[in-house]
Amino acid sequence: MQLSETISTGFLFLAPWLVFFPVIGLLINLIFGGRMSEKAIGWVASAASGAAFVVSVLLAYSVSAAHGEVLRWTLAPWMHVGDLAIDWTFRADSLSTTMMLVVSGVGTLIHIYAIGYMHEDVRFKSDLGRYRRFFVFLNLFIAMMMILVSGDSYMMLFVGWEGVGLCSFLLIGFWYDMDTLGRPSWANSNAAKKAFITNRIGDFGFLLAGFLMFWKLGSFQFDSVFEAAAEVAHNEPWVIVAITLFMLIGVAGKSAQIPLYVWLPDAMAGPTPVSALIHAATMVTAGVYLVTRSSELYTLVPQAQYIVAMVGAATALFAATIAVGQYDIKKVLAYSTISQLGFMVAAVGMGAYVAGMFHLVTHAFFKALLFLSAGSVILGLERGHHHLAHHGGHGGGHHEEVFDPGDMRNMGGLRKTMPVTFWLYMIGTLALAGIFPFAGFWSKDEILLDASLHYPTVYILLSIAAFFTAFYMGRQIWMVFFGEARHDAAAHAEESKPIITAPLMVLAALSILGGALNLPFEGFHNLGHWLEYTLHEVEALPLNLQVAGISTALALTAIVVSWLIYGRKPLTKGQPDPLKKPLGLIFTGMENKWFVDEGYWAVFVNRYVDISRFLADYVDWRFWHDFVHDKVIAGTYNWLSTIALNDYADQKVINWFFDGWGRATQWLSATTRKVQNGFVRSYALSIMLGVVVILGYLLLKP
């Protein structure tokens, strides 16, 4: 039986190993890591992730061999209560294998990169012990991400969904005892906590969607849900709307959309490979995956689709404007990520699932590339700074000031000192800006094309966002790599080692060629056809020269503008941003993220703290505990028992009576004690008297 199944389902039996391999790697490092060398730890973790990639490839092959048949592998039952039946079932179809390939592929590259990167990072922050912990967390992340994309039910997806949230928490707070500059601080752990809690808000929405789904659609299993949905949508459309909108809350949390995007920029507190892997390439795209996965629900309710698309588009534009005003190299990329996620969410919201997935994949390539290159830049500056500290001929003073290796105002002219990184960064930038023929061009164009056909508002918003994208990326390139070094560290920056640049080259190649996955020409819609197995409505649009032309023109214009502002006259040391003057307040807004965080703090966070303090201090403790219980209940009892009863009733009344009784007895005995004179004869006399009296009584008794 097992045999025949194995044949018909190809390598499906390997599906659980998607999770087991990373878990094994994690356990090896956890248990034996203490005795292993740094290199060994890193390679074990990378191998675990690589094994998961191999499994993904084999699964993808199996899916294609099965002609898109959905393949399921049940490992064990999970929750079976009453009608509720959730199993640990792995699902391989074209959509999930796509995600698996991206996650494990990019993941493996980043693992390898991290071997080199973390080696230097832990050295700079002088805590070598954390090297092992990093890879343990990274493997855990891969495992969780695999559960997320391979689960066959919403609840198994949710396990991964929360699990990656946990890993995100752990990795953002990886340097939990310092801030991004290495000073002792709560900053990083705060960022981690913020990310987790914000994600939990999203998960709350996901859970509610789940409850509604179960009671209205009767299951959590994808296919059963979709099957039931059609009828329910006909009878009670609000149910599907509610489910999809609750799900949108989850999407907003995980994929950093308005209004829950605020955690992602802070998440840059994590080490750079983490930013690349989790906060750019994989985890944050889980929301996009969720919507795509639920495409059959969203398709049923256009209202919800519209809301999703608008949220995505608004996020894309909003985040792009903030990116313009940032100085931290990673923060710019973070807002860029939010913006690009907005593109994807908008795409899947519009029903352009293939376009969304396409952009997800290419974005994973080029954004990972950008982040990792940024990491390389940061390390280069660290090295330069380190170099300075050791050859400190430049006169003490300014080395003691805290040096921020991520601040673009400290950079400049790195083109010469870090040429490899420069070129890699350029490729990433061009791909992100959507310049032909890089991957980003094809995927973004497909989204814009779809929007132009169906949702003009979205199209306009996204086009503006695309303009800003090219602009801030141009700004970054000019500020970082051109001009003159604005800090000694930048002047002494050193190129990174091959172990860091090699994965980048692979990613660069993918960023260039990634577009080939789904070229908008007849016969080249590879990804589209591949996903068609899973997604039933796939539009294969041909290239629209008008849309493509406009977007390319916008991007080029933006780059030229950025050159005019930042490239033509390079920034000098200490000079404020040239945009600050002309834009005034608007730029202050961009710089300060439009004060959204402050607003949230004022409206929600501080109020929550106030309320809970109030409840804890006043309501629960002072009122309920101290006043009601100790004062009123215990106090009344005490008063009754000590004052009213003891002091008054007992002492004054009852005691007085018995005291009196006692005194009377005392007096009586003092008097009668004289009778006891000790003379035996008088006792005898009284006995005699008694005898006489008793006899007399007997006589007189009738």
Between 604 and 648, whose beta carbon lies closer to another protein? 604
Between 11 and 161, whose beta carbon lies closer to another protein? 161
Give the shortest CB-211-to-another protein separation in angstroms.
4
Between 206 and 438, whose beta carbon lies closer to another protein? 206
Cβ partners under 8 Å of residue 112, min gap 6: 42, 46, 499, 502, 503
Give the shortest CB-26-to-another protein separation in angstroms.
12
Q: Which two tokens stand for residue 93?
A: 């179809």
- Alpha carbon separation from 84 to 155, 159, 168, 217, 331 (Å, rounded): 11, 16, 30, 12, 44
Between 200 and 497, whose beta carbon lies closer to another protein? 200
Between 10 and 271, whose beta carbon lies closer to another protein? 271
Please list the helix, strand and coil fractions of the chain in percent, rounded to the nearest 5, in that order: 80, 5, 20
Burial class (CB in 10 A: 0-12, 13-18, 19+), 675: exposed
Between 264 and 414, whose beta carbon lies closer to another protein? 264
Give the shortest CB-202-to-another protein separation in angstroms.
10
Give the shortest CB-613-to-another protein separation in angstroms.
5
Residue 72 forms beta bridges with which residues? 91
Give the shortest CB-212-to-another protein separation in angstroms.
7
Residue 91 forms beta bridges with which residues? 72
Does a cis peptide bond (omega within 30 degrees of 0) precede residue 582? no
Measuring CA to CA, which residue among 527, 531, 528 is closest to residue 540? 528
Give the Cα separation of 173 and 462 in Å (integer): 33
CB 384 within 8 A of CB 316: no
Give the Cα separation of 388 and 410 in Å (integer): 14
Give the shortest CB-171-to-another protein separation in angstroms.
13
How many CB atoms lie under 10 A from the CB of residue 145?
31
Phi-psi region of 175 (alpha: psi -120 to 50; beta: other; left: phi over 0): beta
Give the shortest CB-401-to-another protein separation in angstroms.
20
Does a cis peptide bond (omega within 30 degrees of 0) precede residue 437? yes
Between 624 and 658, whose beta carbon lies closer to another protein? 624
Between 60 and 240, whose beta carbon lies closer to another protein? 240
Between 42 and 173, whose beta carbon lies closer to another protein? 173
Describe the crossing of helices 237-254 and 222-235 by its angle, rounded to 10 degrees.
130
Between 162 and 495, whose beta carbon lies closer to another protein? 162
Give the Cα separation of 377 and 393 in Å (integer): 24
Between 172 and 316, whose beta carbon lies closer to another protein? 172
- Alpha carbon separation from 96 to 64, 111, 155 (Å, rounded): 12, 22, 15
The 3-state secondary structure of 592-618 reads CHHHHHHHHHHHHHHHHHHHHHHHHHH
Q: Which two tokens stand for residue 288?
A: 């996009």
Give the shortest CB-258-to-another protein separation in angstroms.
19
Give the shortest CB-378-to-another protein separation in angstroms.
23
The residue type found at 369 is L
Give the shortest CB-37-to-another protein separation in angstroms.
19
Burial class (CB in 10 A: 0-12, 13-18, 19+), 530: buried
Phi-psi region of 184 (alpha: psi -120 to 50; beta: other; left: phi over 0): beta
CB 149 within 8 A of CB 93: no
Burial class (CB in 10 A: 0-12, 13-18, 19+), 13: middle
Give the shortest CB-385-to-another protein separation in angstroms.
22
Between 133 and 525, whose beta carbon lies closer to another protein? 133
Between 200 and 399, whose beta carbon lies closer to another protein? 200
Give the shortest CB-130-to-another protein separation in angstroms.
9
Give the shortest CB-164-to-another protein separation in angstroms.
11
Give the Cα separation of 612 and 618 in Å (integer): 10
Give the Cα separation of 144 and 159 in Å (integer): 8
